[in-house]
């Protein structure tokens, strides 16, 4: 029986045209069999009836035989027609489901294109909020992310909710719903009467607006739930399972796009912030500028990668590592993060390439799940290594190598500029010390030595009771003390010129000439054209030094009564002229000529160092004229 049923089922599944083709081979045997049965029945039945009844008997036999044949044929055709009808119905249903799925997939595809083209976070959140309404029978939706820093939920976007419900929901979130409640929720589907924090206290408002259930779609990144998309439905059962699957796919797409947008925004902000930091670094002149720059760029890099730890290690000339700054852990060699950071930095320095561990096993000692050590290279030289560590897997990964290299290059430039500036500052200090030592040796030291000699001579004159000669020596001693005082004042004024707005060349030179005139009694006339000119600080400081040297020489050796200082701006250059009415050079002693020669050499070196020139015009009893001309960009007021 079971075999017959199986055969019948298989026979019914055979298409009608194939059945008819098979039936053709049965037509002759079937007709022959029916004819034989007919003749046999007719013979048996007809003999039992009178001759007058035989015609009717034959008619009845023919009718029964034909009806049986027709019944069998029509039954077969009806069965085939029924099968065809069922197949067509199933096909129509499958087509309808296919069309519906196609519409859903098309809608999902369109949403995907809109998500991919979203160029800011607000647009993406709006797409995410509207998606449940477009794909399902949802009445409203919200996008909520987790504020891990404050352990609370953050409402980023809402769609379809009334102002009344939205206001009540905001108040509920502001009162504080722990992020962990939704971050670890496993049901993700609830009804209005439940204890869900998104419905708690809002049940009457939700029921008045026809909201009976909600479903939460996890927004995850790297297996970590970073938010939820909540869709509100008018029925207590919520959406069918196929729509839930569709929404889950959408949640994954939104999560990836959202994280990419945030990462891109952080990357852009990181690059811009580093650019601003490196520009500010050029203006720093503090002694700890390198440490300040290292701390600033590390803070920017840690924020840009959403990292929890970072460090800047510099490779010193003595082949040792110096940790300039850390963030997120102590600068203690025994600290687990410090040990890991230093080891990765050594590997990066030795291999001359970025070292990245994107998916680390959970290590309770430091808790970092992704780390990177990036060499800081400029001009082919490794200055050090930038270390970053994050508690989230793949927060730092191989896809960011190009950006890490760009950031590291900017940091290396900033650090190199700070190092060069520190070297220049040290050279400037040494140069200033040399200038002071030279001036003290050539001026104050000789004066003090002469004062000692005069004191000994005065002591001898007093002992010999040569009072008149002693008075003359006292007057000479008094003048030597004045000269020593003038030397000290000029040295102090020279230091002040280095720090007080040297770029305001006209005003600074005017002030110095006035102070020099008061201190020495020389009549100094200053003239500038234009009067409020300004040039770059480096050029201005060198010109001030030249003027100071020239005036000092005039005071000590020229025996002048008047000095004239002129500053004239010309096309692309600046001319400084210092002239006096003194005795000129040839009448000087050998010591004075040596000092004058040394002073002129220093002034000439300063002028030539600026790309300019210095010339001297003098003759006995005709005074001296020193002319300095240097290229300079002159501005009016301030540069």
Q: How confident is the model at residue 627 (pLDDT cuts 50, 70, 90)?
A: very high
Q: How confident is the model at residue 489 (pLDDT cuts 50, 70, 90)?
A: low
For residues 313 and 324, the answer to whether their CB atoms sit within 8 Å is yes
pLDDT digits (tens, 9 = 90+) for 202-225: 888 888 888 999 888 887 766 677
| 490-499 average pLDDT score | 56
Q: How confident is the model at residue 438 (pLDDT cuts 50, 70, 90)?
A: low
**pLDDT exceeding 70 applies to what percent of the chain?**
78
Q: How confident is the model at residue 441 (pLDDT cuts 50, 70, 90)?
A: low
Give me the pLDDT at residue 247, please: 76
Please tell me the distance from the alpha carbon of residue 517 to that of residue 512, in angstroms, as a whole number: 9
- Is the pLDDT at 372 greater than 90? The verdict is yes
Q: Enumerate the β-bridge partners of residue 29.
A: none
Range(s) within the chain of domains with CATH label 3.30.565.10: 510-639
Does 3.30.450.40 match the CATH number of domain 268-401? yes
Alpha carbon distances (Å) from 464 to 452, 460, 473, 478: 19, 6, 14, 21
For residues 546 and 607, the answer to whether their CB atoms sit within 8 Å is yes
Please tell me the distance from the alpha carbon of residue 311 to that of residue 387, in angstroms, as a whole number: 5
pLDDT digits (tens, 9 = 90+) for 388-434: 999 888 888 888 888 888 888 888 888 887 777 767 666 666 666 66
Range scoring the smallest mean pLDDT among 118-122, 231-235, 236-240: 118-122
For residues 404 and 353, the answer to whether their CB atoms sit within 8 Å is no
Q: How confident is the model at residue 587 (pLDDT cuts 50, 70, 90)?
A: very low
| 455-462 average pLDDT score | 76
Q: And the tokens for 473? A: 């020596």
- Is the pLDDT at 496 greater than 80? The verdict is no
Q: How confident is the model at residue 542 (pLDDT cuts 50, 70, 90)?
A: confident
Please tell me the distance from the alpha carbon of residue 545 to that of residue 578, in angstroms, as a whole number: 13
Give me the pLDDT at residue 374, please: 94
> Mean of the per-residue pLDDT values for the chain?
78
Q: And the tokens for 167? A: 């206001």
For residues 41 and 63, the answer to whether their CB atoms sit within 8 Å is no
- Is the pLDDT at 9 greater than 60? The verdict is no
Q: Pick 37 or 352 by higher pLDDT.
A: 352
Give me the pLDDT at residue 347, please: 92
- Is the pLDDT at 5 greater than 70? The verdict is no
Q: Pick 442 or 58 by higher pLDDT.
A: 58
For domain 119-266, the CATH superfamily is GAF domain (3.30.450.40)
Q: How confident is the model at residue 613 (pLDDT cuts 50, 70, 90)?
A: very high
Give me the pLDDT at residue 388, please: 94
For residues 222 and 394, the answer to whether their CB atoms sit within 8 Å is yes
Give me the pLDDT at residue 572, please: 83
The alpha-helical segments, DSSP class H, found in 554-611 are 590-609
Closest CA to 307 of 299, 317, 318, 296: 299
Place of tokens 């009836």: 49
Q: How confident is the model at residue 315 (pLDDT cuts 50, 70, 90)?
A: confident
Give me the pLDDT at residue 285, please: 54
- Is the pLDDT at 595 greater than 50? The verdict is no
Count other Cβ atoms within 10 Å, centred on residue 170: 12
Fold of 510-639: Heat Shock Protein 90 (3.30.565)
Please tell me the distance from the alpha carbon of residue 412 to that of residue 377, in angstroms, as a whole number: 6
Please tell me the distance from the alpha carbon of residue 384 to that of residue 348, in angstroms, as a whole number: 9
| Sign for the pseudo-dihedral over CA of 29, 32, 38, 39 | negative
Range(s) within the chain of domains with CATH label 3.30.450.40: 119-266, 268-401
Beta-carbon contacts of residue 530 (< 8 Å; ≥ 6 apart): 506, 569, 636
Top mean pLDDT of 133-142, 487-496, 622-631 is at: 622-631
Closest CA to 222 of 127, 337, 360: 360
| 148-163 average pLDDT score | 82
Give me the pLDDT at residue 219, please: 78
Place of tokens 């599944």: 13
Place of tokens 């083709």: 21
pLDDT digits (tens, 9 = 90+) for 245-263: 777 777 777 777 777 777 7
pLDDT digits (tens, 9 = 90+) for 110-148: 877 877 777 777 787 888 888 888 888 888 988 888 876
- Is the pLDDT at 638 greater than 80? The verdict is no
Please tell me the distance from the alpha carbon of residue 600 to that of residue 604, in angstroms, as a whole number: 6
Please tell me the distance from the alpha carbon of residue 14 to that of residue 23, in angstroms, as a whole number: 12
Closest CA to 381 of 347, 405, 416: 416
Q: And the tokens for 353? A: 């390439």
Give me the pLDDT at residue 371, please: 94
Give me the pLDDT at residue 326, please: 92
Please tell me the distance from the alpha carbon of residue 552 to that of residue 500, in angstroms, as a whole number: 20
């Amino acid at each position: 029986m079971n075999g017959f049923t199986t055969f019948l089922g298989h026979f019914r599944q055979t298409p009608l045209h194939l059945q008819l083709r098979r039936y053709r081979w049965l037509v002759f045997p079937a007709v022959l069999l029916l004819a034989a049965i007919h003749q046999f029945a007719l013979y048996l039945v007809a003999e039992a009836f009178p001759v007058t009844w035989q015609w009717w008997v034959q008619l009845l036999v023919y009718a029964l035989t034909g009806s049986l044949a027709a019944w069998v044929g029509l039954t077969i055709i009806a069965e085939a027609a029924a099968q065809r009808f069922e197949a067509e119905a199933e096909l129509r249903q499958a087509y309808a489901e296919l069309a519906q799925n196609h519409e859903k997939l098309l809608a999902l595809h369109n949403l995907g294109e809109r998500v991919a083209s979203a160029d800011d976070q607000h647009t993406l959140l709006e797409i995410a909020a509207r998606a449940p309404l477009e794909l399902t029978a949802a009445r409203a939706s919200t996008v909520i992310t987790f504020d891990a820093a404050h352990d609370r939920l953050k409402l980023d976007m809402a769609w379809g909710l009334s102002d009344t419900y939205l206001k009540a929901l905001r108040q509920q979130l502001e009162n504080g719903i722990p992020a962990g409640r939704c971050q670890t929720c496993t049901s993700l589907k609830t009804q209005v009467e439940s204890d869900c924090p998104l419905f708690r206290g809002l049940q009457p408002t939700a029921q008045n607006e026809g909201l009976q259930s909600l479903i939460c779609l996890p927004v995850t990144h790297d297996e970590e739930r970073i938010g939820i998309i909540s869709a509100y439905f008018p029925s207590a059962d919520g959406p069918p399972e196929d729509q839930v699957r569709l929404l889950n796919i959408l949640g994954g797409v939104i999560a990836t796009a959202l994280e990419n947008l945030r990462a891109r925004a952080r990357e852009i902000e990181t690059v811009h912030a580093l650019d601003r930091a490196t520009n500010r670094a050029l203006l720093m002149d503090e002694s700890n500028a390198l440490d300040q720059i290292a701390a600033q760029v590390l803070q920017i890099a840690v924020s840009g990668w959403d990292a929890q730890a970072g460090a800047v290690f510099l490779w010193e000339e003595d082949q040792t590592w110096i940790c300039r700054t850390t963030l997120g852990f102590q600068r203690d060699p025994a600290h687990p993060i410090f040990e890991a950071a230093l080891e990765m930095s050594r590997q990066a320095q030795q291999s001359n390439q970025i070292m990245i561990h994107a998916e680390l096993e959970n290590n309770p000692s430091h808790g970092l799940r992704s780390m990177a050590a990036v060499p800081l290279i400029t001009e082919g030289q490794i200055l050090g290594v930038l270390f970053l560590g994050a508690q989230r897997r793949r927060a730092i990964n191989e896809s960011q190598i190009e950006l890490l290299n760009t950031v590291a290059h900017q940091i290396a430039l900033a650090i190199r500029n700070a190092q060069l500036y520190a070297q220049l500052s040290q050279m400037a200090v040494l140069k200033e010390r040399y200038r002071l030592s030279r001036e003290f040796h050539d001026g104050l030291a000789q004066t003090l030595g002469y004062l000692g000699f005069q004191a000994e001579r005065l002591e001898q004159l007093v002992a010999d009771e040569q009072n008149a000669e002693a008075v003359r020596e006292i007057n000479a001693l008094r003048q030597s003390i004045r000269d020593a005082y003038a030397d000290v004042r000029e040295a102090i004024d020279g230091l002040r010129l280095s720090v007080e707005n040297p770029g305001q060349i006209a005003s600074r030179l005017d002030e110095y000439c006035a102070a020099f005139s008061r201190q020495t009694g020389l009549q100094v006339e200053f003239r500038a054209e234009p009067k409020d000119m300004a040039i770059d600080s480096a050029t201005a400081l060198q010109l001030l030094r030249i003027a100071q040297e020239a005036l000092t020489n005039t005071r000590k050796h020229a025996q002048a009564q008047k000095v004239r200082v002129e500053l004239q701006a010309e096309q692309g250059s600046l001319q400084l002229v210092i002239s006096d009415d003194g005795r000129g050079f040839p009448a000087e002693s050998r010591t004075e000529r040596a000092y004058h020669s040394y002073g002129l050499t220093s002034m000439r070196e300063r002028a030539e160092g600026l790309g300019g020139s210095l010339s001297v015009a003098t003759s006995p009893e005709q005074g001296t004229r020193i002319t300095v001309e240097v290229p300079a960009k002159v501005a009016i007021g301030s540069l």
